[in-house]
Structure 1
Amino acid sequence: MNVDDLKKFYNCRSYRQMSKILQVSDAAICKWGKNGIPIRRQALLQIQTNGALKADLKQNVA
C-alpha cells in the first residue's frame, strides 16, 4: 500500500487530516509519501482495515 491508498480509503484531502485519523505526525505521513510506508505499519493498517488495504511485502522499507 502507499499513501494514496490510505488517502483514498480514509477519504482524506490532506496529510494533516490523515495524520489525525492515524494518530501520527504530519512529518511521518510526508516521509511515507517519499520513502514508502514501513512494512510494520502496513501490517497494522491491514489488520485495522480488516484487509481492505494490503501490506506490500515486496516493498523493502524498514
Structure 2
Amino acid sequence: MKPSDLMSHYGCKTKRELSQKTGFSEVTLWKWEKNGIPPRTQATFEVLTQGKLKANLEALIA
C-alpha cells in the first residue's frame, strides 16, 4: 500500500486533505512516501477500509 492508494481511496488531491481525513500529519505522510507505510498501519487501513485497500504482505513478514 502506498500513500497514493490512500489518496485515491479517500478522494484527496493533496496531502493536506489526506492529513485531515486520516488524522496523520503531513510530515508523517511525507515519511510514508519516502520510507513506505509501516506494516501495522497498513493492516489498520485494510481493516478500516473493509479490505478495499490491501496491506503489502511482504512488508508484514519482514
> Normalised by the size of structure 1, how large is the TM-score?
0.91
Paired position in structure 2 for 1:53 = 53
Runs of 4+ with deviation above 6 angstroms: none
Equivalenced residues, count: 61
Identity, in percent, stands at: 41
CA distance in 1, matches of 2:35, 2:7: 16
Q: What is the Cα-based RMSD across aligned positions, in Å?
A: 1.5
5+ long unaligned stretches in structure 2: none
Q: Residue type matched to 1:58 in 2?
A: E
Q: Distance in 1 between matches of 2:23 and 2:7?
A: 14
Inter-partner Cα distance in structure 2 for 1:55 and 1:3: 12
Residue aligned with 2:59, SS? coil
The letter for the 2-side match of 1:45 is F
Per residue, is there more helix in 1 or in 2?
2
SS in 2 for 1:33: helix
Hey, what does 2:22 align to over in structure 1? 22
Partners of 2:30 and 2:53 in 1: CA distance: 19
TM-score by length of 2: 0.91
